[in-house]
């Protein structure tokens, strides 16, 4: 784990536009952010794309980082990127449904190809509601405290706590069932 002081220096370098410092940030956080995207999307190609978007956006917006939890700031961007992806996917699904009705054919093949990251955990995660799923992944991969998560999601800490508790409990049950 990178020490806070080292990370602070790397971030200062990033703010000064040092490409080497950005490379270090990518090395430090790529794995966790990729895990976050993979578990939420269940798709490797999409996760590749979202991860690229995340770090390019990070380079563009590093000037707006005014201190505080860097992970919180980074995962806030990651969360926004994921939500943008969801909106796009929703629009795409609507178009696909319209097309399907027009053609009168089954286009489920495409959807089957999409979910290539199917392990036992991914199936169980897929059975959780979207809000809980995102909260669990955010907590696990960002390693933020509940206080930081509640602040980031603009919700009371009690809400985040109880939702995460219920979600993880259900996840365990689902894993035991399968």
User: Which positions lie near other proteins, rule CB under 8 A?
Assistant: 4, 7, 17, 19, 22-23, 26-27, 30-31, 34-36, 38-39, 44, 47-48, 51-52, 55-56, 58-60, 69-72, 117, 119-121, 136, 140, 143-148, 157-158, 161-162, 164-165, 167-169, 171-172, 175
* Alpha carbons 34 and 81: distance in angstroms, whole number: 12
Least Å distance, CB 77 to other proteins, is 14
Least Å distance, CB 12 to other proteins, is 14
Q: List, in order, residues 6 or more apart from 81 with CB less than 8 Å away.
A: 50, 53, 54, 57
Tokens of 49: 């794309």
Q: What is the SS3 assignment for 93?
A: helix
Of 96 and 145, the one with the shorter C-beta distance to other proteins is 145
Least Å distance, CB 153 to other proteins, is 15
**Tokens 């093949």 -> residue:** 109
Calculate the alpha carbon distances from 13 to 17, 20, 144 in Å: 6, 8, 23
Of 12 and 30, the one with the shorter C-beta distance to other proteins is 30
Of 97 and 131, the one with the shorter C-beta distance to other proteins is 131
Contact call for residues 132 and 140 (beta carbons, < 8 A): no
Least Å distance, CB 96 to other proteins, is 26
Least Å distance, CB 121 to other proteins, is 4
Q: Which class for 37: exposed (0-12), middle (13-18), buried (19 or more C-beta within 10 A)?
A: buried
Of 89 and 163, the one with the shorter C-beta distance to other proteins is 163
* Alpha carbons 88 and 26: distance in angstroms, whole number: 25
Of 93 and 165, the one with the shorter C-beta distance to other proteins is 165
């Amino acid at each position: 784990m990178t020490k806070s002081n080292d990370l602070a220096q790397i971030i200062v370098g990033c703010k000064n536009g040092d490409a080497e410092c950005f490379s270090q940030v990518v090395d430090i956080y790529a794995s966790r952010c990729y895990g976050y995207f993979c578990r939420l999307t269940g798709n490797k190609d999409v996760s590749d794309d979202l991860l690229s978007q995340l770090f390019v956006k990070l380079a563009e917006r590093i000037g707006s980082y005014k201190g505080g939890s860097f992970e919180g700031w980074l995962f806030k961007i990651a969360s926004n990127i994921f939500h943008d992806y969801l909106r796009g996917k929703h629009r795409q699904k609507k178009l696909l449904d319209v097309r399907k009705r027009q053609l009168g054919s089954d286009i489920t093949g495409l959807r089957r190809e999409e979910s290539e990251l199917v392990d036992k955990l991914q199936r169980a995660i897929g059975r959780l509601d979207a809000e809980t799923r995102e909260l669990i992944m955010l907590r696990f991969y960002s390693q933020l405290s509940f206080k930081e998560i509640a602040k980031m999601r603009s919700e009371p800490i009690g809400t985040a706590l109880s939702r995460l508790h219920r979600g993880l409990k259900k996840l365990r049950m689902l894993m035991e069932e399968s």
